[in-house]
Amino acid sequence: MASIYELLLFTLSIRFFLIDFKLLKPLRDEASTRWPLLLVWLQCPFCNGFWIGLILALVNYNFNPLPSIAFALTSGFISFLVYLLTQALVKYVNS
């Protein structure tokens, strides 16, 4: 079983790879046109952090729902904070 820090870093890494990685942008765009609901999920940093965290936590905690949901909420929140920090840094660099 991974520690909570390792699990959180793994969640944020998978989130970056699926959501922000530039080489996968054509694949994301194509999938968004086929499945419009996926576009909503791709544009919500809390949502994708929550769901990725929930899947990883369910596997890590042997499908125990309480710690899995708590971890998913935490990873969604931290994913949103990382998004806000990134947007602030991009705005600062571009100004």
Instruction: Give residue-wise pLDDT tens across range 6-41.
Output: 999 999 999 999 999 999 999 999 999 999 899 899
Q: Give the pLDDT score at 1.
A: 78
Question: How many angstroms separate the first and last alpha carbons of the chain?
Answer: 44
Position 2 pLDDT exceeds 90:
no
Cβ atoms of 80 and 48 within 8 Å: the answer is no
Instruction: Give residue-wise pLDDT tens across range 32-78.
Output: 999 989 989 999 999 999 999 999 999 999 999 999 999 999 999 99
Block residue for tokens 């909420």: 73
The structural domain count of the chain equals 1
Position 80 pLDDT exceeds 90:
yes
Position 89 pLDDT exceeds 90:
yes
Give the whole-angstrom CA distance, residue 14 versus residue 89. Answer: 21
The pTM of the full predicted model, rounded to 2 decimals, is 0.89
Containing structural domain, residue 29: 4-94
